[in-house]
Chain A
Amino acid sequence: MEYWEFHVGRADRRQRALLVGSAVFVGLVIAATLISKGSTGFQWIVSGITVGSIYALIAMGFSVIYSSTRVINFAQGEFSMLGGMLMYSLSTRGGLPPWLGFIFSVLIVTAIGAALERLTIHPMRDQSVITIIIITIGIAIALRAVAKWIWGTDPVKIASFSGDSPIRFLGAAVVPQSFWVFGFAIVVVILVFLFFNRTLLGKGMRAAATNSDAASLVGVSSSTSSLIAWTIAAAVGAAAGIVIAPINFAGYNFGIMLGLKGFTAAVLGGLGSAPGAVVGGLVLGVLETITAGVFPSGYKDAVAFLILILVLLIRPQGLLGRAEDVKV
């Protein structure tokens, strides 16, 4: 599987039918919401896209590591949690201007991600993928414990980047932070895209994802690819956590749900496919907020897991992914 290829062009009939079907379904849900609820419905969709952009970014973190190493990093949500909590300490409490707090938080989490890869993943590189996945679960638990120790158990409110007074936008009241979320999501997606398509390093990682032997033979080092993948995943995860934290409350366990939702988005779009991650994140975000509006909001999280179960049962390769033979 490749990061940046839409498989739609070469899709088989079933995949096309499924894609069209899903698009029609999501379209109908959105249309029904807009017609029956009017501007309230539009409001839901806007917040769905907001939270969906975050799921998309986290899903990209999963995809980048998965494509390069076949590992599912269950500590992905914790990178977002750390980003949000560091932002709280540096900016909300520490008084740094938001942009500076953002940069420092991302840098610190990125360094943590790279260090974790070298200290815990790299030494185990000859072990099976399952072993490494279990290590990532360990990392997640450890990071949560450290965060609990530093920041305590109470959720904290993180200051928005530019105030909280809603902006009227096509009849909906949108908090300014939502625009920051959209903006960051777009910038991050473009940066990751450029990295994988325009730089030799990124192309080498794509090559390793499609044919690891041939990539090794031109000199791509799997160890370097793994390090870069973790670095990117940590940076993207941190950025996602920081921009969403002012909308949700953040706390030491804020990464669990974000991680699981991001994972669902990645699986929905097709694990390993970056466009899939974006599509999966947006679809999940919108369906989730609409459900929360129509049904009691406690069912919100159930949507994600219902989707996860359905996708794994019906189409484990996701909407934009391609079936892959697993060699034993």
Chain B
Amino acid sequence: MLRVEKLSTFYGNIQALREITIRARRGNITTIIGANGAGKTTLLRTVTGLIKARNGLVIYEDRDITNLQPNRIVHAGISMVPQGRQVFGDMTVAENLALGAYVRRRKERAEVRQDLDMVFGLFPVLEERRKQSAGTLSGGEQQMLAVGRALMSRPRLLLLDEPSMGLAPKVIQSIFKTLHRLHEQGLTILLVEQDAKIALETADYGYVMRTGRVALEGPADELLENEEVKRIYLG
């Protein structure tokens, strides 16, 4: 569904991605693990158009979407839950979710309403707090809101950047349970995660990134058994 071919991204003269090639298959959860600074976030930001790639291609559903503006990428059906949640803190939960459906047309109003109910079904706490300003939510609730907001554009591919960051283990469990449910409903997911264990347990296929390159790849259950992965990332 998503193919990244030999993608290279620079920050000034510093090369952050070195000819990265990855694939996210339709209906799968694909994960990218790796240490801080390995380039995982840069990869997602390049795919979504927040940073420009210097070389390489991003192909989505057989269409070249390399270096499109972020809003065109959202229109194409890709949505991202950014690192650190990035909810609009001064706006209410309901407004955050409404903005998630920003790219959708006026005549889709009924479907947007349905999707809102779907999000409230996934995260009942958001419905309870829908008039509360997003900045007053707990970290876990903000993460739920960030996922909900991303779902409101009705994406076919969901990118998540470190959804476990700074959250309590119980909250992480519940977020990943939700990802599992979305996956069962047919959503394709590309998950960037530092917590290699939970990521590989959830995913179908995994990539290990190191200093801007793909160091290792394989089915997630095989990576879980890989000695090197065990030693460095699961240890």
Residues of B at under 8 Å CB distance from A? 48-50, 69-71, 74-75, 79-80, 82, 86-91, 95, 98-100, 102-103, 149-150, 152-153
Contacts and interface: CB of A to CB of B under 8 A. Distances in A.
Nearest to B74: A219
Contacts of A5: 90
B86 A213 contact: yes
B91 A206 contact: yes
Given A200-B98, A204-B102, A217 B88 contact: no
A211 interface: yes
Contacts, number: 68
A200 B102 contact: yes
A216 interface: yes
A210 B90 contact: yes
Contacts of A216: 48-50, 69-71
Nearest to B88: A207
Contact of A203 (B87, B98, B150, B153): B98
A223 B49 CA distance: 14
20 contacts: A200-B102, A206-B88, A207-B88, A210-B90, A211-B88, A213-B50, A214-B87, A216-B48, A216-B69, A216-B71, A217-B48, A217-B70, A218-B102, A218-B103, A219-B70, A219-B74, A220-B71, A220-B99, A221-B70, A221-B71
Contacts of A213: 50, 82, 86
Contact of B99 (A2, A203, A223): A203
Contact of A218 (B69, B89, B149): B149
Given A204-B102, A219-B75, A219-B153, A214 B88 contact: yes
**Chain B CB within 10 A, most for which of A214, A219, A221:** A219
Contacts of B103: 218-219
Nearest to B98: A200
A5 B91 CA distance: 10
Contact of A217 (B74, B90, B98): B74
A218 B50 contact: no
A217 B87 CA distance: 11
Given A203-B91, A207-B88, A210-B89, A218 B82 contact: no
Contact of A207 (B49, B99, B152): B99
Interface size class of A (residues with CB under 8 A): 10 to 19
Contacts of B98: 200, 203
A220 B90 contact: no
A204 B99 CA distance: 7
Given A207-B88, A210-B88, A217 B79 contact: yes
Contacts of A203: 91, 95, 98-99
A219 B71 CA distance: 4
Interface string A207-251: 100110111111111010000000000000000000000000000
Interface of A: 2, 5, 200, 203-204, 206-207, 210-211, 213-221, 223
Contacts of A210: 88-90
B69 A221 contact: yes
Given A204-B99, A210-B90, 7 more contacts: A203-B91, A216-B49, A217-B50, A217-B79, A218-B153, A219-B102, A221-B70
A221 B149 CA distance: 17
Contacts of A223: 69
Contacts of B49: 216
A211 B83 CA distance: 13
A216 to B, nearest CB: 4
Contacts of B86: 211, 213-214, 217
Contacts of A214: 82, 86-88
B99 to A, nearest CB: 5
3 smallest CB-CB distances across A and B, nearest first, come from A219-B103, A219-B74, A216-B70
A211 B89 CA distance: 9
Contacts of A2: 90
**Chain B CB within 10 A, most for which of A200, A206, A218, A220:** A218
A10 B152 CA distance: 31
A277 to B, nearest CB: 18
A2 B74 CA distance: 24
A291 B143 CA distance: 54
Contacts of B88: 206-207, 210-211, 214-215
Contacts of B71: 216, 219-221
Contacts of A219: 70-71, 74-75, 102-103, 153
**Chain B CB within 10 A, most for which of A5, A204, A210, A214:** A214
A217 B85 CA distance: 12
A223 B74 CA distance: 15
